Amino acid sequence: MPKFRSCTLLSLLLTLGITTQAAAEQAYEVRRGDSLSSIAAQQLGNSERWREIWALNPRIRRPEQLAVGMRLRLPEVGKPIAAATPSQPASHTPQAETPDAVTLMAEELINGGLVDRVRRAYRLLDSSQPSIRLHAVRHEQDGLYLYSNSLGQRPLKQPEYGIFQTSVEPATQSTLELTRIGLAEPVMRQGNMAGFRVTASRQTPTEQSLLLPLTLEPARLKPHYPSQDVSARIIKALYEQPDGYLLILDKGSRQGLEPGQLLGLEQRNPVESTTGQALDFPGHRAGWAIVVDTSRETSLALVMSASRVPAIGDRLH
């Protein structure tokens, strides 16, 4: 799994503040020595518009992914997109944060497939929720097979299932944090027992692995703001992910969070008095995130834009 290894990379990923809209676009072929800023300067007349190019090409997650010959989508020349300003003071009123721009940014990431990739690769599961648990993992003549005796009445309607591994350092004991490590197809069933053939994997499954349907409903999220006040705290941050920064939040479906909700990042702001008493005061808006999955007590959010590295203890509203 690729890792972010430089301050330059953090700077690129954490200064996103401009999104795109459905407009006439042009294409550009990357040349030797190009950067997003230089392309924006040459093609759009303003180096600051590199963020719009980034938003239109979500497969680019790191500067070194710009390769000679790569074709990029460019926004329409002369029509810069309005920015969502993360430096503004935090507010519970979405209208104060140019919600149209934030919603468009989320729609771009959804339509580009990034949010679906995250939802297929990571999952939150309440410990009591049903999953297909494994009895054995066995190498056979024609491949690797997974055997389960925990189907119950569950139908095997999906042509393919995700093989998920649980986190060794979960943020809470009530929620399983799952990362997909492979794919398997059902090949046999008798009553409560079934066999699956592994079709792809990046690490060998174990008997502690779980099988889950690969798709989540609804298949296409609709970005929206919470209908009621929400205040969630980051309890875990997953920085080294190929699709961006992921956050585990301490609020879930029981507290009104749901996939598709747009939440503003607020940096932690501890203020200490001269007597040594420290209190957490409201901080400044530091970006935006979209909720991509929830359990009863926790949520998984994808960072869409940030002016600083999100950290444990920061809040989202």
For 278, phi then psi, to 5°, come to: -110, 130
Do 228 and 174 lie in one domain? The reply is: no
Read off the pTM. 0.66
Helix crossing, 99-111 with 114-121: angle to 10°? 70
Token pair listed for 8: 């330059």
- Give the whole-angstrom CA distance, residue 286 versus residue 94: 14
Do 161 and 209 lie in one domain? The reply is: yes
CATH assignment at residue 45: 3.10.350.10
Q: What is the pLDDT of residues 264-304, one digit of tens each?
A: 988 776 666 777 776 666 666 778 999 999 999 999 999 99
Rounded-to-5 percentages of helix, strand, coil across the chain:
20, 35, 45
Domain stops at, among 213, 235, 270: 213
Q: What per-residue confidence (pLDDT) applies to 228?
A: 85
Q: What per-residue confidence (pLDDT) applies to 278?
A: 67
- Give the whole-angstrom CA distance, residue 234 versus residue 172: 12
Residue 6 lies in a domain: no
CATH assignment at residue 278: 2.40.10.410
What's the chain's length in residues? 317
Do 207 and 226 lie in one domain? The reply is: no
- Give the whole-angstrom CA distance, residue 50 versus residue 70: 16
Do 142 and 191 lie in one domain? The reply is: yes
Residue 312 lies in a domain: yes
| CA end-to-end distance (rounded Å), the chain | 30
The total of structural domains in the chain comes to 3
Q: What is the DSSP letter of 67?
A: -
Q: What is the pLDDT of residues 106-131, one digit of tens each?
A: 888 888 888 888 988 999 998 777 78
What residue ranges of the chain have pLDDT lower than 50?
A: 1-24, 80-99, 218
Q: What is the DSSP letter of 82?
A: P
Do 198 and 251 lie in one domain? The reply is: no
Do 245 and 182 lie in one domain? The reply is: no
CA dihedral sign of residues 246, 114, 243, 146: positive
Q: What per-residue confidence (pLDDT) applies to 187?
A: 94
Q: What per-residue confidence (pLDDT) applies to 217?
A: 56
Please name the residue that has the structure tokens 């809209």: 21
Distance of CA 271 to the CA centre of its chain: 31
Q: What per-residue confidence (pLDDT) applies to 235?
A: 95
Token pair listed for 70: 């790569």
Distances from the Cα of 188 to the Cαs of 45, 147, 170, 191, 200, in angstroms? 60, 10, 33, 10, 18
Do 225 and 286 lie in one domain? The reply is: yes
- Give the whole-angstrom CA distance, residue 16 versus residue 245: 12
CATH assignment at residue 130: 2.40.30
Token pair listed for 293: 């999955």
For 38, phi then psi, to 5°, come to: -65, -35
- Give the whole-angstrom CA distance, residue 130 versus residue 286: 37
183 neighbors 160 (Cβ within 8 angstroms): yes
Residue 239 lies in a domain: yes
Domain stops at, among 80, 99, 132: 80
Q: Which of 19, 9, 15 is nearest to 62 (CA)?
A: 9
User: Could you tell me which residues come within 8 angstroms of residue 191 by beta carbon, excluding any fewer than 6 positions away?
Assistant: 151
DSSP 251-283: --GGGT--TTBEEEEE--EEEE-TTS-EEEE--
Do 201 and 250 lie in one domain? The reply is: no
Distance of CA 307 to the CA centre of its chain: 17
Residue 286 lies in a domain: yes
Q: What is the DSSP letter of 68?
A: T
Distances from the Cα of 278 to the Cαs of 105, 146, 162, 265, 300, in angstroms? 36, 53, 46, 21, 29
Residue 197's domain comprises 122-213
